[in-house]
Chain A
Amino acid sequence: MEAEAAKLIGAGIACIALGGAGIGIGHIFGNYLSGALRNPAAAGGQFANLLLGFALAEATGLFGLVVALIILFVF
């Protein structure tokens, strides 16, 4: 297999990590919504934690994207 083809396949496989990011983000927002529907008064206070949790979950998926970009553009 040529190096170029292996690079492209490797980058594609590395992007599977973004599926985990999608699941994590959906989980966080889903829990926030179910909690907010039960206790709307307390929902506003946790909005900051929501944004923080979203960014942390997305970051993990983006680490996989960074690996894909490294494979594509550094090697």
Chain B
Amino acid sequence: MASVRAQTADDAAHLPAEAAEGGLHIDPMHQFEVFPLIPIRLGGIDASFTNASLWMVIAVAVISLLLLAPAKKLVPTRLQLIGELAYEFCFNMVRDVVGENGRPFFPFIFTLFLFILAANMLGMVPYSFTVTSHIIVTFALALFVFIGVTILGFVRHGAGFLRFFVPAGVPVVLLPLLVVIEVISYLTRPISLSVRLFANMMAGHTMLKVFGAFVVGLGVLGGWAPLAFMVAFTGLEILVAFLQAYVFAVLTCIYLNDALNMSH
């Protein structure tokens, strides 16, 4: 969203919350605001370094710290062990889902998984910014995966990739309808992939902010109840952060398997 859009959306969010609560200001949407830190204009395009860009850079820095851990001993140090665990986890996932054909694409899947994981986890740090809670970020990732996998399918199988939309063993009378349904469900893949991650992150952080406001609003006497819920819910959000990164990576592997091995 452009910053002007966010401004009007903030105003729309303020009014019902203030009127309803009478003194308690619940503003869960302000945390998603993107603002420029270093304004940069390239011709007519706004290419500013925003807070979203900053947290993406921090995510990459955290991943680099994890993977480029200095000591590469045969008996791993603890930091190296975490890196090796992540590598093995991703490698097994790619090998189980895609098979040997997927080996060249393992670096991409690994990068994707670690980037989304780091971005989600960094969002759990208080006062930080969740990069993946914006649809444009997740849509860029999902669109890249979708276009890449489709091109890969056409490169690997040529025009025969279109046989993917015609499942085997279907009566001929049903074929026209079924092909249309198959194509539509294929075209909704980037949308479902991106919206799944975006909605999980945005809904989770909105809920955290709302319950945080409840803690403050109920004060010393009643504030312990929403606080206890928030502790449990923060734990759940950390689990969801990991789970959504894993699901994004697994679905990418499944789409890759569809394109490479055409298992329909």
A residues apposed to B, CB below 8 Å: 4, 8, 48, 51-52, 54-56, 58-59, 62-63, 65-66, 69, 72-74
Name which of B52-60, B67-75, B212-220, B239-247 contacts chain A.
B239-247
Name which of B9-17, B34-42, B168-176 contacts chain A.
B9-17
**What's the minimum C-beta distance from A53 to chain B, rounded to whole angstroms?**
10
B residues apposed to A, CB below 8 Å: 9, 12-13, 16, 29, 93, 96, 192, 195-196, 198-200, 202-203, 243-244, 246-247, 250-251
A63 to B135, CA, bound (A): 12
From B13, B192, B199, B250, A52 is in contact (CB under 8 Å) with: B250
Contacts of B247 in A (CB 8 A): 51-52, 55-56
**What's the minimum C-beta distance from A75 to chain B, rounded to whole angstroms?**
9
A74 to B6, CA, bound (A): 10
From B9, B200, B244, A73 is in contact (CB under 8 Å) with: B9
A21 to B76, CA, bound (A): 42
Can you name 27 A-B pairs with beta carbons within 8 Å? A4-B16, A8-B16, A48-B96, A51-B243, A52-B250, A52-B251, A54-B243, A55-B196, A56-B247, A59-B192, A59-B196, A59-B199, A59-B200, A62-B195, A62-B199, A63-B192, A63-B195, A66-B195, A66-B198, A66-B199, A69-B202, A72-B12, A72-B13, A73-B9, A73-B13, A73-B29, A74-B9
Residue of A nearest to B13 (CB): A73
Residue of B nearest to A69 (CB): B202
Residue of A nearest to B206 (CB): A69
From B12, B200, B246, A58 is in contact (CB under 8 Å) with: B200
Instruction: Take A62-B196, A62-B199 as given contacts and tell me if A55 and B243 are in contact as well, using a CB distance cutoff of 8 Å.
Output: yes
**What's the minimum C-beta distance from B196 to chain A, rounded to whole angstroms?**
4
A48 to B243, CA, bound (A): 10
Contacts of A4 in B (CB 8 A): 16
A66 to B196, CA, bound (A): 10
A62 to B133, CA, bound (A): 13
Contact A63 B199 (CB under 8 A): yes
**What's the minimum C-beta distance from A35 to chain B, rounded to whole angstroms?**
19
- 5 closest pairs, A vs B, by CB? A62-B199, A55-B247, A59-B196, A73-B9, A66-B199
A8 to B19, CA, bound (A): 13
A71 to B195, CA, bound (A): 16
**What's the minimum C-beta distance from A57 to chain B, rounded to whole angstroms?**
11
Residue among A4, A63, A73, A74 facing the most chain B CB atoms (10 A cut-off): A73
A69 to B195, CA, bound (A): 12
**What's the minimum C-beta distance from A9 to chain B, rounded to whole angstroms?**
12
A52 to B246, CA, bound (A): 9
Residue of A nearest to B20 (CB): A8
Contacts of B243 in A (CB 8 A): 51, 54-55
Contacts of B250 in A (CB 8 A): 48, 52
Residue of A nearest to B96 (CB): A48
**What's the minimum C-beta distance from A65 to chain B, rounded to whole angstroms?**
6
A40 to B195, CA, bound (A): 34
